Structure 1
Amino acid sequence: MKKLALVNLFFALSIINTQAMASQHNTPLDKLTEQSFFNDTKIGVTLRNYGKYLNEDGTGDTLIHSAWGQAFGLAYQSGYFADFIGFDASYVNVVKLAASNYFATRNLLWNDGTGYDKKNAHGFDKVSQRYIKIKFGEQASLNFKAKWGWQVLRNYAVLTTSYQLTKNSYLGYSGTLAYDNYSLDTLYVTSSMNRDSPEKEQIQTANKKKIDYIIGTGLNYKDKKLSVTYAYGEADDYIRRQLLELNYNPHPQLTLGSQIYFNNPLTNYKQLSPDKRAADGNSWYYAADIKWQQDLVGLKLGIAHTKADKDNGSLGYFERHVTKNARWRFNSLTEAAYHYQRNGELAITFLGDYQASPNFTTAMQINYGQFNYKDNKFKTGEINVWGQWTPSDSRLKNLSIFAKIGKSWTYKANKAQPIFDNQGHYQRGTGISGEFIIDYRFNLF
């Protein structure tokens, strides 16, 4: 009933705004509705159809992971009353279209049950965002903006979100103080809602113990040629994350980038059993990339290295998402579970894109990684090809269709640890993946 009442509120505000603009009478109601809170109100609708497929044998058995769903989203964004305070909210409904066993790894549908059976796959609905917002100051000078409530945080300090049929959202505070080319971000979150669930979740350790909060801050600089972010954050007495991201354009066609991520384990992380720890001490991930854009063709080359030791002789890796039920900021080209972030691994990535027409862009990405472990030189890689059609016709300007197919070569593993044969050689594994997304967006006003 609460969710239905919120949707009704969206449309009620829409009617009030329309009536206010049409009225020419200088009544107290007219003066009220002339406030930017009503005049700047926006309501948008998003339709997303998303399917994902994976056929792989990484655990020894050949497994099919697939899920397909349709999402309907409604987003309300108010203006600021007295140029100071406002309110935003987002509602989304997800309908299950199809699912296989192991569907939950695709993060599209709600796994309402135990195990990996497809009978547990369900659609869901939720109010993914609902927050109060405030602001001080002018946009062109010193200003401050803040939010309190359920909100999406995209590459904000040390946290981020992922957009599947819905986005991860967090309960807490975020605020940004900005001046000229500089900005300072702060966040404090206590709970989350995952992208494939309507339920409020506790932020947890690897052994599912509650973490009371995540705090973080980020210092940013951005001008026409250079953007730099340094961020620091901590999951309460569990782990600290620091990061440095940089992009520099010395030439209009050339972009140089670098990303450095650092995990520092704290008391509760060190007390985990060895099989729950990704690394036993500090772990690092270093990456650099270079991109050249020539008219309709873009070429990008990236290289990365990981340091993530484990004392017991097992294979360590850099843990991107260091807590359960929260996604931590990580923006390297080589992003695929723990792949390409294993201890001592050198990863190389090539990405090429081509705008075949004003409406269609295609791209190919090749990843290669290698590392030494237990007298084996592991070599892994993948090739992904995708295309996106975004029609320029004004009647379809809010439509986009995306499709991708990929092939991977890796090794068989049990809980991230390689499986060896009787001769001590690692066992190879393969995978085939595919996905498609159909998006359509429009504004009611």
Structure 2
Amino acid sequence: MTNKSVFAVMLSSSAVLLSSGIINSAMADTSTFISDSKTDITLSNNYIHLIDTMYPDYSYYDMTAWGQAISVDFQSGYINDMFGLDLSLYGVDDLKAAEGFATRGYFRAETDSSGNTSAHGFTKVPQYLLKQKFQVGDMQLSLFEGMRYLQDFGVLSTEDRIIHSSYYGVTSELENTRWLLKAGYLSRYSDTDTPNKEVMLTKDGKDIDYVYTGDLTYRSDDWSARYYYGESQDYLRRQVAEYSYNWDRGKTLSARYFYNQGLENWKNLSDFSRFYDNDASHFTLEARMFSPEWFIKAGYTYSRAAREYSLGRFDWNMSDNSLGNQDSMAHGLSTNFTNDGEHVLGIIAIRNITPEIKAGFVARYGFGMEYKGNHMNESEVGLIGAWTPEAVKGLSINVGGGPNYSFKRGYDNTPLLNSDGQWQQSTGYCFTASVKYTF
């Protein structure tokens, strides 16, 4: 039986279990469905002011976006301690949108007959799913069918900008104190800037009917190991291995290795669209330290993404219009530091100034990229702050910002050289602010 058939059977079986279970429990006591339920209402106001000179069509590109959103998230209790549902509703209103707003994923973009693009708010139902849970010995099995947020779920993840993105399909989780197994078969994606549930696409616009992924973690008292695998239909295959060791209380050292393999539809892409020829890899080593006063994460990464005619780049995503798991220090605030041959040193440091106020900084420096005799580098640095007032439960205010430097490039990641054949530096800066209140 093929991998596709296995996940198709899983999808059908889950639907049967859900329907038969709900029918059989129709006469059961359903009081816990409401009494154990939870509803969160969140008001969020997000602002980003981003200026960049990286790409060739502009020397100064304004990607500012400012929006207001409201979300209602309902999580039911379980009928017979087995069956329930989750439902979310989001609304977004555009307050400000500069010419490059569409790159930020806040608002729905519409282009008129004259080629002018404008921002529009929208409403959507980003999450609606039936859920089941069963106890199997010391293991708990959870099944989900429908639209769902998938944060750090195998090769996939959920993007959280002004609202969440989500996936449609069937997923499952099997867990006890030591083991966690996740599996999913997904066929649609709803991005942060659209109300629609869309087919996933290759970079040249061909349909991807499904993405499936499996994710296995083992946790001991002092260490954990994780392996996850995923494949988008005839397009990309990814494998990731991770090991973490707790060498002292509040101190963790972890290593992660990502391997991407292009399949038939990837290899058939044009040179412009394919950011590496056949396969690519990425390695990251991180140290994390927690204390009552500090959180510090420092790391090193290296990317290999060979490309015959240009500078390659490791790509996180399993399709052109969905989000892949980007658990690496190379995932920056302004760009991904994953060019072929790039070494990256990074640090995030946050201090608890008071129980309500945190402040810190983030910095990344990438080097080692070579193109036509040029040795290039890039960097970013930013200050960050957060305030969670104890007097207003559920309120959080976050700010951050700083400059970034990279190399000017084409949209296919090819470095742009001046008349002397030398690389050109691009500059930019970013300021973000968000206010969230959940009740």
Q: TM-score, normalised by structure 2?
A: 0.89
Equivalence map 1:40-439=2 (5 Å): 40-60=36-56, 61-113=59-111, 120-137=118-135, 141-311=138-308, 313-336=309-332, 339-370=336-367, 371-393=369-391, 396-415=392-411, 416-439=413-436
Larger mean Cα displacement after TM superposition, 222-231 or 141-150: 222-231
Secondary structure of the structure 2 residue equivalent to 1:358: coil
With over 3 angstroms needed to count, the CA separation of the structure-2 counterparts of 1:115 and 1:81, relative to structure 1, is farther
Asked if the contact 2:371–2:415 (Cα under 8 Å) also holds between the matched residues in 1, the reply is: no
Amino acid of the structure 2 residue aligned with 1:385? L
Using the TM superposition, give the Cα deviation of residue 116 of structure 1 relative to its aligned residue in structure 2, in angstroms: 12
Asked if the contact 1:75–1:89 (Cα under 8 Å) also holds between the matched residues in 2, the reply is: yes
Using the TM superposition, give the Cα deviation of residue 44 of structure 1 relative to its aligned residue in structure 2, in angstroms: 1.2
Q: Which runs of no fewer than 5 residues in structure 2 stay unpaired?
A: 1-25
Moved segments of 4+, more than 6 Å: 114-118
With over 3 angstroms needed to count, the CA separation of the structure-2 counterparts of 1:218 and 1:288, relative to structure 1, is same
Count of aligned positions: 409
Using the TM superposition, give the Cα deviation of residue 222 of structure 1 relative to its aligned residue in structure 2, in angstroms: 2.7
Asked if the contact 2:235–2:266 (Cα under 8 Å) also holds between the matched residues in 1, the reply is: yes
Identity among equivalent pairs (%): 29
Using the TM superposition, give the Cα deviation of residue 31 of structure 1 relative to its aligned residue in structure 2, in angstroms: 7.9
Deviation digits for residues 83-142 of structure 1, max 9, x if unmatched? Answer: 22111100001111111111011111111336998852011100110111011117x821
Q: TM-score, normalised by structure 1?
A: 0.88
Secondary structure of the structure 2 residue equivalent to 1:410: strand
| Alpha-carbon distance between aligned partners in 2 of 1:318 and 1:398, rounded to the nearest angstrom | 38
Deviation digits for residues 188-231 of structure 1, max 9, x if unmatched? Answer: 01011101110121100010100010011010123443333210
Asked if the contact 1:103–1:118 (Cα under 8 Å) also holds between the matched residues in 2, the reply is: no
Using the TM superposition, give the Cα deviation of residue 281 of structure 1 relative to its aligned residue in structure 2, in angstroms: 1.6
Amino acid of the structure 2 residue aligned with 1:206? K
Amino acid of the structure 2 residue aligned with 1:384? G
- Where does residue 25 of structure 1 map in the other structure? none
Secondary structure of the structure 1 residue equivalent to 2:326: coil
| Alpha-carbon distance between aligned partners in 1 of 2:28 and 2:336, rounded to the nearest angstrom | 59
Amino acid of the structure 2 residue aligned with 1:402? N
Using the TM superposition, give the Cα deviation of residue 259 of structure 1 relative to its aligned residue in structure 2, in angstroms: 1.8
Secondary structure of the structure 1 residue equivalent to 2:253: strand
Amino acid of the structure 1 residue aligned with 2:235? Y
| Alpha-carbon distance between aligned partners in 2 of 1:406 and 1:250, rounded to the nearest angstrom | 33
With over 3 angstroms needed to count, the CA separation of the structure-2 counterparts of 1:230 and 1:92, relative to structure 1, is same
Amino acid of the structure 1 residue aligned with 2:426? G
Using the TM superposition, give the Cα deviation of residue 30 of structure 1 relative to its aligned residue in structure 2, in angstroms: 12
Secondary structure of the structure 1 residue equivalent to 2:103: helix
| Alpha-carbon distance between aligned partners in 1 of 2:400 and 2:222, rounded to the nearest angstrom | 32
CA RMSD of aligned residues (A): 2.0
Amino acid of the structure 1 residue aligned with 2:330? T
- Where does residue 440 of structure 1 map in the other structure? 437
